[in-house]
Amino acid sequence: MTNKINPSYDNLYLGCVLIAVDVICGLFSFYQNYKSSKIMKTFNSMIPVYANCVRDGVMDSETPVRNLVRGDIVEVKAGDIVPADIRIIESKGFKVDNSSLTGESIAVLRANVEGTSNILESPNVAFFSTQCVEGWALGVVLCCGDLTALGRVAGLAARLKPALSPLARELKSFMRCMSLWALCLGFFLAIASLIIGYPFMQTIIFVIGIIVANIPEGLQPTVTASLTLTAQLMVKKQCLVKNLDAIEALGACTTICSDKTGTLTQNKMCVHHIWMWNQTYNVSKIDSEKNNKVFQSLTICGALCSTASIQSDGNISGDASEKAILNFLMEHDNPMTIRDNFPKVAEIPFNSANKYQASVCLNKYDSKFVVLMKGAPEYIANRCATIALKTGNTSLTTEMMKVVELATEKLANSGERVLAFADLTLNTKEFPIDFEFDIDNINFPLDKLRFLGLLGLMDPPRQEVGNAIRRVREAGVRVMMVTGDHPATARAIAHEVGIATSENCYIITGTELRDMSSDVLNWTLEKYYEIVFARTSPTQKLQIVEACQSRGDVVAVTGDGVNDAPALRKADIGISMGLTGSQVSKQTADIVLMDDNFATIVTGIEEGRKIFDNLKKSVCYILISNAPEILPVLMFILFSIPLPLGVMTIICVDLGTDMWPAVSLAYESAESDVMDRVPRKSERLVSARMLRQAYGHLGLMEFAAGMYAYFIVMAEHGFYPAALIGIRKKWDNVAINDLEDSLGQEWTYAERKELERAAQAAYFVAIVVTQMTNGIICKTRFNSFFQVGMKNRILNMGLVFELILACLLCYIPGLSNFFQTYPIRVRWWFLAIPFAVLMFVFDEFRKYCIRNVMYNGWFNNLSYY
């Protein structure tokens, strides 16, 4: 027969708090997801997709793809993505790569021919999202959006869950372990509590407390905060992170396979060297030769042979090497005046069969026709009879030919593309001013020419690349070059940017790669650190990435071209160039470098590693407060003392005071060793070392601080520690209203419970004080606190917040009732100070040992998480 006139509100409060916590957590993660998805949306709109669309007879090359409707006519060129499902109405050599849709790896020809009943195999339809590899086509839009073949597949795929990123996997397994541990502990305590005779309700509250204490509630916001924060930072560095997890994966990256053209180099040909008889001039030192007659002839020949055109606004358009020649000439002469003075009368365009290009011009000064030729040195030299020297022309002897060949080889070996120039002034008798030149049946001589000289052209590496690659390699990341270019060019660039540092850099060409078994490829990757893959096809790029991944590497691929797209997709982190990159590569990539700055990758690696480091710090911070939350219950059961920490106060710590500092550790800047260590390969987010550190070292110190505060408060009121042990049964007995303390004072139940609240509040405050110290400790894993300082303003604010919140919880009358705290005396705040100092000193000592690898790295093995 009980008579509870006024049942306690405590359990109601607890229920309210738990519900509030659930709702707030839900809202918070919704807000975070909403925010990051908003960022993602802006990213997507920053990479607009346009189509060439003819509507109402008007061509608009900037029609956004989403505005296409059925019946529009679109034009698709090589390199474009087909913007919708289209029926081809006109085409030339139009080939599409249907691999994304059908799995065919070979590009198929599509044209305006009769179709088949199966639309997927119909040779006159090209599908949305497939890529045009060759040729061009005009087509009528059949369907768009979700109605397209891809849209229907995507609709199916959307229901499937995508594979998790390494970080997400890591978090998932950690959360699973933690929950299991919390449930087991809760179960164990429930049994213990029921055995010692606690009512069922009280037991449930204990279990809730234990579970709340163990689950790291602050983790999810911390992860989202770090990723979003980093993504925003990367945007400032002109780097779009399309996939948030990719930035963390970049930190774990062990191998970078970089494309050469456009990624490492500027993708802009420049004249690098000039060879005129027996003399190689660097482009910067050619000025001294301005009055050399040979040089003047060479300029004229170059200006007339180059097919690049100069537009009215001064821009040069044309093929890369042609532009390079004109660019070079612009610095020394005016190619426009030359062209005006030598009107072109005929031209034989370059083709891969004859490997030269020739034009015939009329010299306005003497009204003679001149044949000018440009091409591969060996072909040109063979057609020459004489050679221009400073002093005049001499016949080209066999020895001289050898010298020319040697010079060509030398330039070619340094990665330059060599062009030879020759001219021949035609005789006015045979070729009068009204002579009709026929380029189909050549009626003018193309041999016995005068050899003028050689130009060495090269695509120079980007300025920042060398430095960036050095730093990436220092960070333990292997950089390999995978290019479709010639081995010699690849080698030269590799040397220049620092991918190859010694002569024994290993070069594998596509042909060699084709003959390799996967085993041999693996072995080669193992044996040679510096490897350059040259002349590789897109599938081979993919093969290389897969070979690296099968070795357990985390592979980043940088590329700009369409041919890089499969590798970009397959790679753990695909990085594309925003300015020079093709549409496909940008869409496939996880990260887009908007300003093409390779050095951003270094920042990316640093940021990625920082994210992982900071997550570890944050988890460690959260875990440390677990020990002082779990152990009181154990003390309560084992030593039968009044409960040192209540469930409400545990919730106050975990969801109140610890929250901000834990999240703010994500704002910590990178440690000094972040780029000096090798990439993590099988390192876990939460390791045994961290658990040792959290539960075995710092957590126990916090527990000691809390117990000290608890005992002192009890002792000051008259319950000396010895009297507390074993008192639990009487203490928690509602009927006993005259429990004697060590001084003979008699306490009623209500007075005792109030004292218990005061002692618990002191324990809570001790945790808050030690957790503040802990926030400072967890700022660094490796560096000393004195090296890092208190520069993280968010954390500083977090610590102040923690203190203020603890004060509010203790001293606001309603709150202290609600959360079962107590307005404790000011001096009890200082009880934890000795323990906080011990924590700090111990951890500084530990970090000192770790930095200096003292005791044979014993501390590193023990607790360097």
What does the binding site for other proteins look like in residue numbers (CB under 8 A)? 1-3, 5-6, 519, 522-523, 526-527, 550-551, 696-697, 700-701, 704, 707-708, 711-712, 715-718, 720-721, 733-738, 740-748, 750-751, 754-755, 758, 831, 834-835, 838, 842, 858, 862
Do 417 and 269 contact (CB within 8 A), yes or no? Answer: yes
Do 99 and 85 contact (CB within 8 A), yes or no? Answer: no
At its nearest, how many Å lie between other proteins and the CB of residue 641? 14
At its nearest, how many Å lie between other proteins and the CB of residue 193? 17
Please, which residue, 350 or 711, has the CB nearer to other proteins?
A: 711
Please, which residue, 123 or 721, has the CB nearer to other proteins?
A: 721
At its nearest, how many Å lie between other proteins and the CB of residue 832? 10
At its nearest, how many Å lie between other proteins and the CB of residue 718? 4
Catalytic annotation present for 259: yes
- Counting beta carbons within 10 angstroms of the beta carbon of residue 321, is it exposed (0 to 12), middle (13 to 18) or buried (19 or more)? buried
Per DSSP, the three-state class of 776 is: helix
Do 297 and 423 contact (CB within 8 A), yes or no? Answer: yes
From the list 563, 588, 10, the residue with the least C-alpha distance to 575 is 588
From the list 178, 124, 262, 170, the residue with the least C-alpha distance to 564 is 262
How far is Cα 178 from Cα 184, in angstroms, rounded to an integer? 10
How far is Cα 725 from Cα 770, in angstroms, rounded to an integer? 25
Helix, strand, coil fractions of the chain, as percent rounded to 5: 50, 15, 30
Please, which residue, 446 or 715, has the CB nearer to other proteins?
A: 715
At its nearest, how many Å lie between other proteins and the CB of residue 740? 8
Please, which residue, 332 or 730, has the CB nearer to other proteins?
A: 730
How far is Cα 589 from Cα 259, in angstroms, rounded to an integer? 14
Q: Considering 259, 485, 553, 596, which one is annotated as catalytic? A: 259
Please, which residue, 428 or 737, has the CB nearer to other proteins?
A: 737
Do 675 and 474 contact (CB within 8 A), yes or no? Answer: yes
Please, which residue, 609 or 717, has the CB nearer to other proteins?
A: 717
From the list 623, 657, 605, 631, the residue with the least C-alpha distance to 810 is 657
Identity of the residue numbered 345: V
At its nearest, how many Å lie between other proteins and the CB of residue 524? 10
How far is Cα 564 from Cα 547, in angstroms, rounded to an integer? 16
Structure tokens at 145: 């959006």
- Interhelix angle 627-639/749-778, rounded to 10 degrees, is 140
From the list 157, 155, 107, the residue with the least C-alpha distance to 131 is 107
From the list 324, 243, 301, 589, the residue with the least C-alpha distance to 424 is 301
At its nearest, how many Å lie between other proteins and the CB of residue 752? 9
- CB count within 10 Å of CB 669 equals 13
Q: Looking at 653-695, list the stretches that DSSP marks H as alpha helix, in order from N- to C-terminal side.
A: 659-664, 688-691
Residue 791's Cα: distance from chain center in Å? 26
Indicate the helix (H) or strand (E) that contains 677: none
Structure tokens at 112: 């305006």
- Counting beta carbons within 10 angstroms of the beta carbon of residue 710, is it exposed (0 to 12), middle (13 to 18) or buried (19 or more)? buried
How far is Cα 246 from Cα 414, in angstroms, rounded to an integer? 36
Please, which residue, 254 or 408, has the CB nearer to other proteins?
A: 254
Please, which residue, 720 or 818, has the CB nearer to other proteins?
A: 720
At its nearest, how many Å lie between other proteins and the CB of residue 817? 13
Do 219 and 567 contact (CB within 8 A), yes or no? Answer: no
At its nearest, how many Å lie between other proteins and the CB of residue 754? 5
Contacts of 464 (CB under 8 A, 6+ apart): 597, 598, 599
At its nearest, how many Å lie between other proteins and the CB of residue 782? 20
Please, which residue, 667 or 708, has the CB nearer to other proteins?
A: 708
Contacts of 353 (CB under 8 A, 6+ apart): none
Side-chain-side CA neighbours of residue 154 (13 Å): 11
Identity of the residue numbered 229: L
- Counting beta carbons within 10 angstroms of the beta carbon of residue 719, is it exposed (0 to 12), middle (13 to 18) or buried (19 or more)? buried
Please, which residue, 380 or 548, has the CB nearer to other proteins?
A: 548
How far is Cα 755 from Cα 760, in angstroms, rounded to an integer? 8
- Three-state SS sequence of 164-211: CCHHHHHHHHHHHHHHHHHHHHHHHHHHHHHHCCCCHHHHHHHHHHHH
At its nearest, how many Å lie between other proteins and the CB of residue 731? 12
Please, which residue, 60 or 754, has the CB nearer to other proteins?
A: 754
Please, which residue, 391 or 504, has the CB nearer to other proteins?
A: 504
At its nearest, how many Å lie between other proteins and the CB of residue 653? 21
The set of catalytic residues is 259
